[in-house]
Chains A and B, each alone.
Chain A
Amino acid sequence: MLSADPPRGVRRPRKRTDDVAGLGHARAGLFVAPALAIVGLFLVFPAVWTLYLGMTNYRLTGLAAAEPEFVGIDNFTQALGDDAFWSSLGLTLVFVLLSGVIGQTLLGFSVAWALRHVTGWVKTLIETLVLAAWVIPASVASFLWLALLDRRNGTLNELLGTDGMAWLIEYPMASIIVFNIWVGTAFSMLLFSSALAAVPPSQMESARMVGATSWQQLRDVVVPNIKGHILTNTLLITLWTFNTFTPYLLTAGGPRGESEILAVYIYRTAIPGGQLGMGAAISLIMLVINLVIALGYLRVARGTGTKS
């Protein structure tokens, strides 16, 4: 029989704590404190500061730069009542949908799917090329694209024999969409490569044995198996594409705001436009949209009950 009392001479076990690690609240709190401090300093504080700025008429220069006045929700109502904001939001949604959700996801998945049986140097070469687009600094990448799309002697015009075509002016949205697909495909490709590697080969072969076509294998075996990965990928890509500023380096939002996605719109309002308070207000709206998107995905992810 086990006795409740420890025998004499044996040290009493330390008082049990109710947390898993057995540290006690005080010491556990001490361990997470540095992380919490950093999160607070670099995430919570800027967010709160943005909220504050958004409610002032803070400007880059002039009187309001020295003594900003509190204006309440004026900035927000003004932004939401401004056609420029709504047109920018519309462009952003098109940009996210075409370049992120559809372009990067589909292209990344296609490359991963095509490469799943390829091994050796061919695979390494293609992966390196795709990855290069991702790891090249944005300033360098945009310079490469400016050279590619240049009106005079641009590589694309040389290839197509369309000398004098100003792609960035004639097709600004198409240009930044293709550019962003080019930049971001690597991430989807890597994520889907590992996801596809985790699909049990025997399930694919079971489908093949009953005569399923590649399309049916994809629909019935692959997609259900990697549903979690697809959601994660779409969430990350959506947020990244929503917030990206790099297209500014290609078109600067122009011509006439035709490629002025939200991040660019905020920049142009806040810095060249000098309205820091207004910029902060739109930033906060953008943050809320991000949160809504993220929560929406999480809901879907939980609803499907998938792992990963």
Chain B
Amino acid sequence: MSAITTTALVKEYPGGVRGVDGIDVTIEDGEFFALLGPSGCGKTTLLRSIAGLEAITEGTLHIGERDVTNAQPGERGVAMVFQDYALFPHMDVGDNIAYPLKIRKVGRTERRKTATGIANGLSLDGLIERRPGQLSGGQQQRVALARAVATRPEVLLLDEPLSNLDARLRLEARTFLKELQRDLGVTTVFVTHDQAEALALADRIAVMKSGKLQQLGTPREVFGRPLNTFVAGFIGSTPMNLVTTTVADGGVRVGTATVPLPATAEGKVADGAAVVWGARPEYLRWSREPVDGGIPAEVSVTENLGASVLVSAHSGDVRLQLVLGEDDEPSPGDTGWVVATARRSLLFDAATTELIG
């Protein structure tokens, strides 16, 4: 088990495009770490650089105490599960799982025994003789995981581990993955474009955009205190309300009202400053009575989310979205007040997009 440290890591493609542009990250020993970002942000390139499948252009990569910047993929103590699982269709499950052992010249009976043991541990009992084509998506994934852990790697890399599964199986596999990672205690890095997946699985998340690190933190930090408007907009199943506005009268102008400054931003901004006010839909309330600091608004659309309702309301030309419990939902056309808690709202600099408080 080992930590992974990247120092000013750069992966430049021919033509000068930088897939990874100066990343400094330390992934702790035994951590479950997510690389999150939209497609093309460099997260997969970073993962493949750690794997050794992409040559690193600049900077260094350490796994444990070892400098593996230029080491071959097979010499890094790293195992990887690919998005499509990359099982060998011509080998049965047992041979697939034991393939790394075959490369290490372990004898056939020994290989078979180890494979069976690992397979049983991953609830693949009785499937040893099957071909990958005869397995369900979830079983295929577990075979790929079994193959990856067969050599007891120091680091486990997962490329979009849940994206090839259907929605229901995905939840099941998510819990399974988290349990497996906890049991093995192996340093695990996974790539995902799905913020919910990252929040649910990871101990820490690195949010990336254009090859650069945007924020590194626990799911709670990334969700609650995004460091810039990109992270704020990217994280969360319903995007954060981001209103470009100005500071006035010791508060922030939102729609037709002035709301109090977020608690953490007090004293950091002057009147007239151009800012972006942000509040998560989950943290907004709806009031039918006037409230001090409330934003008068008219409901335009409501969308049912099951146990909650996503309400869109307009105040002047500003649209705000709220997630409300199913009991006190307003109807389209209703008027009332949107109430933000100062503790749960954020202020970003409109020019730099960075968090003020």
Which residues in A have some Cβ–Cβ distance to B below 8 Å? 200, 202-203, 205-212, 216, 220-221, 224-225, 227
Contact = CB atoms under 8 A, between A and B. Distances in A.
Given A200-B86, A205-B86, A224-B90, A210 B53 contact: no
Most chain B CB within a 10 A radius of its CB, from A210, A221, A227:
A210
Nearest to B96: A206
Nearest to A305: B90
B175 interface: no
B191 to A, nearest CB: 14
Given A211-B103, A220-B99, A203 B88 contact: yes
Please provide the 4 A-B residue pairs with the shortest distance between their CB atoms, ordered closest to farther: A211-B74, A202-B86, A210-B100, A224-B90
A208 B73 contact: yes
Interface of B: 51-53, 72-75, 78-80, 82-90, 99-100, 102-104, 147, 151
21 contacts: A200-B84, A200-B86, A202-B82, A205-B51, A205-B80, A205-B86, A206-B80, A206-B82, A206-B86, A207-B99, A209-B52, A209-B74, A210-B74, A210-B79, A210-B99, A210-B100, A210-B151, A211-B72, A211-B74, A212-B103, A220-B102
Contact of A205 (B82, B88, B99, B100): B82
A224 B99 CA distance: 14
Given A202-B84, A211-B75, 18 more contacts: A202-B85, A203-B88, A205-B73, A206-B80, A207-B99, A208-B73, A209-B51, A209-B73, A210-B74, A210-B100, A210-B103, A211-B72, A211-B103, A220-B102, A221-B88, A225-B89, A225-B90, A227-B90
Contacts of B53: 205, 208-209
Contacts of B72: 211
A200 B73 CA distance: 18
A80 B152 CA distance: 65
Given A216-B103, A220-B99, A209 B79 contact: yes
Contact of B88 (A208, A209, A216, A224): A224
Contacts of A209: 51-53, 73-74, 78-80
Contacts of B85: 202
A290 to B, nearest CB: 30
A268 B143 CA distance: 62
A195 to B, nearest CB: 15
A211 B73 contact: yes
A31 B289 CA distance: 80
